Structure 1
Amino acid sequence: MLPPLLLVTDRHGTDRPLAETVRAAVAGGARFVWLRDRDLDAELRRALARDLIAILAPVGGRLIVGGDPDLASEVGAQGVHLPGSAGIDGVRALREKLGAAALIGFSAHSVAEIAAAEAAGADYATLSPIFPSASKPGYGPALGLEALRAAGSVSRLPVFALGGIDAGNARACREAGAAGVAVMGGVMRSLDPRSETARFVAAIA
């Protein structure tokens, strides 16, 4: 079973080194981290991935690398998260490449994509945007909690609500059927990421 909080990294959103923010979030209870930061130089991203694995390892946490299976394999990450632009065929091809043991996530933006991702071999998906979100302005109107309910009716794939998630609405996402919530700005922009993460963990426990 996957941890119900998926922390999404954004070094532009934090006022400290990203590894420090993640370390604080892990101290607050984060156990599942998606290394996004796709614009980072390859060498720096590799070094950061290794740092995050070292932070997560003592608590049994998992690191997922966004869109780069070669990097994930090189650093020993637990899996890969594919963007929606990779398409469902991308999920299928990645499963064939990595085998059954790897964890594969997919960024879905509709209920239909959730069902397709499950059929293609994904282990989980994010569904976004659930609520209006400044960090995801280009993905159309908010889908709302009803989309989470609908996803649960067409698929057994674990779905993480993404987009506009805060400690106040996270529980509602779980009650609507989400396996968990994916959070970026709510923790990355916090002045106290440890305490903010703990609030999320408590809200979705």
Structure 2
Amino acid sequence: MTRRVVVLTDRTQVPDGRSLRDVLAAAADGGLTTVLLREVDLPDDERAKIADHARTCGLEVIAAHRAVPGCSGVHLPADASLPEVATRWGRSCHDRADLLRAAADGAWWATLSPYATTQSKPGYGPPLPASAFAQAPLPVFALGGITPANAAAARAAGAWGVGVMGAVMRAPDPSAVVAALLQAAG
């Protein structure tokens, strides 16, 4: 992942009258280059169709939890075993010990959450102190409660980039939100 903003999908947060495909196309129009495809409850063939659509929008696709054909990497839960095949991969982390384990296991990146209170997971937290993002042993994306208003602060705290779900999935104009996030996160 070469850009400082990655969007995580969650079709359940997309407003009525719009589809996840619509949101992905709009996010790409706003400058997004990488999407982390969650939707782990869907069968693999459905996830592959979403990934195919995202790639037609020009997006690099990272698959959550398990590989999807054509994706450029996989993002694993904190307690997951390592991938069985050579691929770029990252891990969800929730404290420094998780980050150290991810780095020791050879992860290419990690998400660290929660950065802030999040509407996507009410009651999840409490938010980590800003110092949790400093001096990470690998590139870390701050995740949880990220908006254009706090993305720059997350980067200033030491996050390599930001991971965003709800602020983009629920947005009336995902393109504008992505553009604002890219502006804020550098």
Q: Same fold, TM exceeding 0.5?
A: yes
Shorter-chain TM-score range: over 0.9
Is 1:129 paired with 2:110? Answer: no
Q: Would you tell me which structure has more helix in proportion to its own residues?
A: 1
Of the candidates 51, 64, 67, which is equivalent to residue 66 of structure 1? Answer: 64
Residue of structure 2 equivalent to 1:98: 85
How many Å apart are 1:53 and its aligned residue? 1.7
Q: Percent identity?
A: 41
Q: Which of 180, 188, 198 is equivalent to 2:169?
A: 188
When normalised by structure 1's length, the TM-score is 0.85
Alignment of 1:3-22 (within 5 A): 3-15=3-15, 16-22=18-24
Change beyond 3 A, Cα 1:138–1:105: farther
**TM-score, with length taken from structure 2:** 0.93
Give the structure 1 partner of residue 96 of structure 2. Answer: 111
Query: Which sections of structure 2, spanning at least 5 residues, go unmatched?
Result: none
Paired positions, count: 184
Aligned residue identity for 2:148: A
Which residue of the other structure, out of 17, 29, 32, is the alignment partner of 1:30? 32
Local SS of the residue matching 2:57: helix
Supply the AA of the counterpart residue of 2:25: R
1:98-157 per-residue CA deviation (whole Å, 9 max, x = no partner) reads 22xx220100000111111011010000000011112234643111312112xx1xx430
In angstroms, what is the RMSD of aligned CA positions?
1.5
Partner of 2:147, secondary structure, is: coil
- Give the counterpart letter for 1:47 in structure 2: K
